[in-house]
Chains A and B, each alone.
Chain A
Amino acid sequence: MLVLLMTLTGCDRDGREYVPEPNAKFPGIKTLGELNVMGNDLDDDGTPDEYSSVTEGTLFDTLGPPPLGEFGGATGTFVGNGNVICVIVDPEAVFWNQSVAASGTDKVTYWPENVADDGDADIEVGLSAYYTGSPGVEMGSFEQVYEDSLGNEITVEYNECVMADRYGFTGSHSGRSTIEFCEIDTALHPDREYTVVVNTWSLPLDDDLLSYGLTLVDLGPGAVNDDCAKFIDDRSFKGNRECFITNEANDEEFAAFEEVFCLEVQSWWCDCTFEPGPDNDACFKLEDKKDWTIDYGAGTATTKEGTVLSLDHPSQCGDYDPNAFKTDEDLEQEEEEATL
């Protein structure tokens, strides 16, 4: 009887509480209108002007949860000019795989990443005439049905955006928090309207809001495969594509941390801010190897480039278990030493 009652109580659950509610301030489905297309004459000399140019030409936006049971995302349009257009989206925040080597841990990635602040967005681009969604109301696709002469129906994909994963394999996704991009050759359909679709792949767990940056670049006529990737790489700090569109999370703390990430010292920084002090080996390395200046009294650190950072532990750093890499013998030895 008790078992039966317990079973019945399970019937009033539908899992709805695990799905985020729509947010009135940040719609889950929205239209971005006509999108700005940047020229391709940006400097690639690594100067701040170059990065601010990208920032000025980028559309920054935030998507909330879509209504229950619906796909979320945003759509915008541009008119083909016969050139090749590079479409780039960078969802918040930054992502790295934590190195879990037992020894010789990688200096860049030994600290875990906070996966709760990561979102993911994918892009599709095609002629607006083929788009089946209603901008701002309902997401759709570029799939159309072709019927052969025997009446057999075949779904044809008119999405022209071929994304690649981090290794360059096409037809894949780069993954969470990582930029996605593709080239759209408008030579076949000049003066026709194209629709860019930013699909909400996953919302960050911490606030259910997906911030992202969306950039369109005119690569000129006759651009070839990989020109888009080359354009991004040439204008990304240290060739790290995460550092092409900056501060996509539209948040001061994130902007500061992204700079640290682009300098490839995020683990030292997470470690140092976890327990700031001259005894902390990570803080020492930042000063010794990276020429940073750390003022423990003021609670600030100044990078070699002159950026002043707060020593408050950034939320982009994941929870770190200092004993994670220690063996049982190490822990026993530490316990004995503490006892003595």
Chain B
Amino acid sequence: MILLLTLGCALDEHLPQVDISGTVVVPRAAATRTYTDPLTGEATEIVDVRNIGPVVIGAYPAIRDDLFAYPHPEMGPVIDQGIPGNAYPYGGGTVGRFDFACFEHLACRVSTGRFKDYDDVLDWFGNVIDDPVKDEFGFEVESSDFYRDYCYDLFEVTADYEISWVSGADGLDFVVNDDGDFEAQYNLWQVTYFEGMQLWGFVDSPSERFNFTTCDDTRGQQNSEYVNDYFYGTGRFDLLNFPANYISDGDFVVGMDDVVTLSQVDADAYREAAETPMIRIGFEVGAEEEAK
């Protein structure tokens, strides 16, 4: 009986879905931004992992360079005016996701895997973005201890590890590689495998005021405590299906030369090969136009 039960553990269901893991590389330029001091007018170039917005990666039937001004997955039929066709992805995931950093002021502006701790956030918005973090009364949040207490109280937690966006010094998604670019591990869970499918993705770079197009600040959990009335914000649900809706100048996408094609004949063969595809997201949207 025990032998029979044990045999069950070896059952291979030959599922058509696979988990795809590997390394994603974004160029140093994606982590580099020039910020201007509003008082002195002095421009400073800052290279920082906090400049890298959420990275969206998907598996698609094909990538084409004739649909938009940048490589983009092939699309199904255009049905509604002004809305691109559905890219019909086979699956995908992100490196970093939007997480609510306790104050309305920060809704849709903080991703997981980008900030080490509370000081890291206060420093970034106060000293770099020049938009200090404010509480619901409009008062600047200056103390990381107050910040932590506020978060613990809001989420009813008792430790930093319960707050997803607090990554810790060793928990950031991206690290600098030997080329000076930034790389991170990615996981795309349960992607339906088709021979010849291609991996493609994009980095949502922040705007001047450090906002992101891939986040929807009208959705997510609602805070209606006392006089509060706002949403925590959440990643848009159709990023993989309609990426062109959210890609704009300054974002980075996978270039045609860097598209990864999975050539294993089926899901079993892919699992057997244990591949770890490397994805490079090096094509800057709008850069060619700017150069012209």
Contact = CB atoms under 8 A, between A and B. Distances in A.
Interface of A: 146, 148-150, 152, 154, 156, 158, 187-188
A192 B110 CA distance: 48
A188 B79 CA distance: 9
Interface of B: 61-62, 74, 76-77, 79-81, 86, 88, 90, 194-197
B197 A146 contact: no
Contacts of A148: 61-62, 74, 76, 88
B194 A152 contact: yes
Nearest to A144: B77
Contacts of A149: 61-62, 74
Given A152-B90, A156-B76, A156-B86, 14 more contacts: A146-B76, A146-B77, A149-B61, A149-B62, A150-B61, A150-B194, A150-B196, A150-B197, A152-B61, A152-B194, A154-B76, A154-B88, A158-B79, A188-B80
Contacts of A154: 76, 88
A149 B198 CA distance: 11
A91 to B, nearest CB: 28
Contacts of A152: 61, 88, 90, 194
B195 A150 contact: yes
Please provide the 4 A-B residue pairs with the shortest distance between their CB atoms, ordered closest to farther: A148-B61, A150-B61, A149-B62, A146-B76
15 contacts: A146-B76, A146-B77, A148-B62, A148-B76, A150-B61, A150-B194, A150-B196, A152-B61, A152-B194, A154-B76, A154-B88, A156-B77, A156-B79, A188-B80, A188-B81
Contacts of A188: 80-81
Chain A contact surface mostly: loop
Contact of B81 (A146, A156, A187): A187
A152 B59 CA distance: 13
A150 B197 CA distance: 8
A158 B86 CA distance: 13
Nearest to B74: A149
A152 B86 CA distance: 14
Most chain-B Cβ atoms within 10 A of its Cβ — which of A150, A152, A158? A150
Contacts of B74: 148-149
Contacts of B86: 156
Contacts of A150: 61-62, 194-197
B72 to A, nearest CB: 14
A73 to B, nearest CB: 23
A94 B195 CA distance: 55
B265 to A, nearest CB: 13
A187 B81 CA distance: 9
B79 to A, nearest CB: 7
A274 to B, nearest CB: 46
A323 B80 CA distance: 56
Contacts of B196: 150
Nearest to A154: B88
Nearest to A150: B61
Contacts of A187: 81
A156 B77 CA distance: 9
A79 to B, nearest CB: 19
A144 to B, nearest CB: 8
A187 B80 CA distance: 10
A154 B88 CA distance: 8
B282 to A, nearest CB: 24
A32 B74 CA distance: 40
A156 B85 CA distance: 11
A154 B89 CA distance: 11
A187 B82 CA distance: 12
B196 to A, nearest CB: 6
Contacts of B194: 150, 152
Contacts of B77: 146, 156
A305 to B, nearest CB: 44
Contacts of A158: 79
B83 to A, nearest CB: 11
B199 to A, nearest CB: 14
A188 B76 CA distance: 17
A300 to B, nearest CB: 54
Contacts of A146: 76-77, 88
Contacts of B195: 150
Nearest to B90: A152
Nearest to B81: A188
A148 B79 CA distance: 16
A149 B61 CA distance: 6
A187 B196 CA distance: 39
